[in-house]
Structure 1
Amino acid sequence: MAKHNAFYAQSGGVTAVINASACGVIEACRRHPDRIGHLYAGHNGIIGALMEDLIDTNQESDDAVSALRYTPGGAFGSCRYKLKSIETHRAEYERLIEVFKAHDIRYFFYNGGGDSADTCLKVSQLSETMGYPLTAIHVPKTVDNDLPITDNSPGFGSVAKYVATSTREAALDIESMCSTSTKVFILEVMGRHAGWIAAAGALSGESPEQAPHLIIFPEIAFDREKVMARIDDAVKRHGFCVLVVSEGAQYADGTFLTDSGSTDAFGHKQLGGVAPMLASIVKEDLGYKYHWAVADYLQRAARHIASKTDVDQAYAVGEAAVELALAGQNSMMPAIKRISDAPYEWKIEPAPLSEIANHEKFMPRDYISEDGLYISEAGRRYLAPLILGEDFPPFENGLPKVAKLNKARVERKLQPFEL
């Protein structure tokens, strides 16, 4: 069969293991030199394709590519840029096809979350209408764990491990000082509509008798009186209270506790600040001394404590994306299918993008306790295997080593393009 080039890009908020997927894609492409000539990476995601700002990954050494497996962040640059509708912004899509034609790109690998799945699907549809043969495969990634069909999303397991570990360590700190100091500690984690990350905090203990003593999910309407009563009870029973709250905590009418009124480039509400808000309520209603923390970027960049399960799965979906493309699959995503909880076993299966794009997966109600403030045993069975195993990066001078890439640019062949 004829040999053509491929394109890979990273999109949206990065994860501790997104570069492991990049490693999987690149190494898989290198195993098929008879089918794939060059693998170009978009500098800053899909914008790299629009601006014809391409990186030739063939110029990277095998060692540098291998080092991507333990490097956090987005090695080739990511972006929050969502392609508009084909009807109103056809020029953007036509530009993509022009760039792909100019560089003989016939394989499109887009590594991201739900919005990226939508972009990948649109690009696939456009290539058909324009008569340009392009195979588009979505490589799943999101710390929010809200992609449908796949059992879990690469990136989530490592965030879950970080949040559970940080909750346990902070709880020991609070417990040691609670008799004369802080009584309540609040940890705010990511999760706009889905409470998967907040739920992972419960892995710190075995029951609400151990920290965290309660969790606030976006899926459960915030009840101020009920939450404050639970905090008060924990302090009286244990001397302190630790709670994990999702940034997307909502009132019964669906409004966020901390809706700033602004949106990001994908049109999502800008959130953050729910921890200090809850702390002020604790002070007002209960009068306890408190501390709060926001995990923010730390939770998604913490490669040093990544879950080995997550690293392995991130690499596997990158590798599988290439194999799906070469097998003639199009407009698909390699999804993770759980075979068993204990021992934990999983495999990769293809899933159609039409069933993934613009769909969100929320915490099932049976994964949450009856009172809505903790996880159930079913939730624990689901979460526990995803944080298993350690995959420490090599260290140098006391700090984790990271990949050092050349990022050699590909010569432009087209006229400049304005976004």
Structure 2
Amino acid sequence: MEIRTDHRFVAWCAACDWNVDPGEPEEPGGRLDTLRRRLAGEHGERLLAEVTTDELLRPRRDAASVLALALALAVHGFTAALLAGGVLLVVLGWGSALPVLGALCLFIGWLLRPRFPRLPEDEQVLYRADAPELFALIDEVAGVVGTTGVHAVAVNADANASVSTYGLRRRRLLTIGLGLWEMLDTGQRIALLGHELGHYANGDTRQGVVLGNALQSLHTWYYLLSRIERPTLPETLLNACYLAPRSVVVAVATALDHLTLRATQRGEYLADSFAARCGSTAAAVGLMDALLVSDSASATLLRESNALRSHRSGGRAAGGAESGLWERLAAHVESIPASEYERQRRRSALRGHSVDSTHPPTHLRRSRLQAVAALPATVTVDSARDAALRAELSGARGLVARRVLNGG
């Protein structure tokens, strides 16, 4: 028996996989989520084989994408018809009860309106003037990826990163979670930027105006048509009336998921290819390893916050605790034994595609990077530039550290 032990991590057996995954897999959130996970599992292995043998991995506009666009436009068309009908009922129905029905149609149409996210108010937002070296690096990585840079960078404490858009003009926003950023070395950070900007280059359909808002409309419909729990007699009748339209909503949302799932997972592999091209294959693989242990990083930040509050409640001073928070996080990650990385890879393999229906499991993404020809780094950062980048993020690092330690 090869029992791997470290008091900070799960004890497990490398020979028989005992206790590799002591926690229960995440429970599906409902019928829609269950279907999404099943579809992800069906397509996942076939997609991995395809992207591993495809040397020119690139975005594709296939029949499924065209059908998804048509279905999304039909959803928006129904919303437009609802609004137009509401206006006609209000204008032409005076003297009857029709304006009431028209007002209801207009209200539902307003709930279904397209949404344009705003900049986050609870995160540190940087613009080009605040961090010129960081934005220059982002522009350089974007040039390699084949896209343009971003208009703003939001910094928070998450062990994650993402790209999105904000405002009516759909300006680009890169969100950097210091819980992940501070775990990485310079090459891995470049790989992370390449991956995230790669989502702009490959056209993430689920985040687009048409499809993204169609999915939002369907989720709104599902909420409005949700079954009333412990209903009275009139509510039981209402539940019966809701059954058919709710089934249609579920069917349409499932169809959109089915039509876009393959493209979304393929997009993740493509973004990983951009990560390798920008930061090197070795850096991209290191990024995958960091994602495997990101929960440990989040737990470390939570322990730091709890420890500070314990000091305060005990009457002990804790001034300046935020000054070394990120260094302590980096030291913790550096001390994670190889056996824990291996356990996380095996755990990912056991859970398979059910872990995330829109992302391939991390261990498969890592395997795919290692299965194709290794790439050197296209973008590099010398020590002087690295110091400048660190200086530009120092203010955000301190602010986010204070928020973490104060439980914010």
- TM class by shorter-chain length? under 0.3
Larger Rg: 2
TM-score by length of 2: 0.21
TM-score by length of 1: 0.21
Instruction: Say which structure is richer in helix.
Output: 2
Instruction: Say which structure is richer in strand.
Output: 1
